[in-house]
């Protein structure tokens, strides 16, 4: 990886609409990218970040949905990022739920999105080991949201059309923005 600082890409950046490529083998470069992504996520007060959001089209995400709570409770360590290479949902619950979502690439934008309430998923960790797990609630929602990014899908694409239409003015302002340095 070169020494260029990663930037969180904003709504108008075409990389957010690209489908990320699978990672064939986890290398030290991927480990460094993932660690930088985690620092960016925490620095931006987020709970998840996908490689597309920092301008890279590789299938890497980082998730930590409880770090705010752990830090408030002074639980040590407060930050426990889950690094996922080539993540994929393997099973979805029949039950969906709706919740408001936001995104570091769409600052100030929030909206209700329906998603499966629980999932089973798999990924490769930073040591190159396969992992299979299950998640529900916010963690399941966050993993689905970040995998969507890897497929060029933004949460606003999953909103009801009438709800998305209400955001038209805010989205137009974001189209005029550039990358945000963190």
**Catalytic option among 132, 146, 160, 163:** 146
Question: Residue with structure tokens 């209400």?
Answer: 166
Phi, psi of 36 (to 5 degrees): -65, -40
SS3 assignment, position 46? coil
Active site residue 146: yes
The DSSP code sequence of 90-140 is EEE-S-EEEEEEE-TTSTT-EEEEEEESEEEEEEE-TTS-EEEEEEEHHHH
Catalytic (active-site) positions: 146
């Amino acid at each position: 990886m070169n020494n260029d600082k990663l930037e969180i890409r904003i709504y108008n950046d075409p990389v957010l609409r690209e489908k990320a490529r699978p990672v064939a083998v986890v290398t030290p470069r991927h480990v460094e990218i993932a660690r930088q992504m985690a620092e960016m996520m925490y620095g931006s007060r987020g709970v998840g970040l996908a490689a597309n959001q920092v301008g890279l089209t590789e299938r890497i995400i980082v998730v930590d949905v409880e770090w705010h709570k752990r830090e408030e409770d002074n639980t040590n360590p407060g930050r426990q990022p889950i690094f996922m290479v080539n993540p994929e949902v393997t099973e979805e619950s029949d039950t969906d739920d709706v919740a408001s979502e936001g995104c570091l690439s769409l600052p100030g934008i929030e909206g209700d999105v329906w998603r499966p309430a629980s999932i089973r998923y798999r990924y490769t960790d930073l040591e190159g080991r396969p992992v299979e797990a299950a998640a529900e609630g916010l963690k399941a929602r966050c993993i689905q949201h970040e995998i969507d990014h890897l497929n060029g899908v933004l949460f606003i694409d999953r909103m009801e059309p009438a709800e998305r239409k209400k955001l038209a003015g805010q989205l137009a302002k974001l189209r005029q923005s550039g990358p945000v340095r963190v």
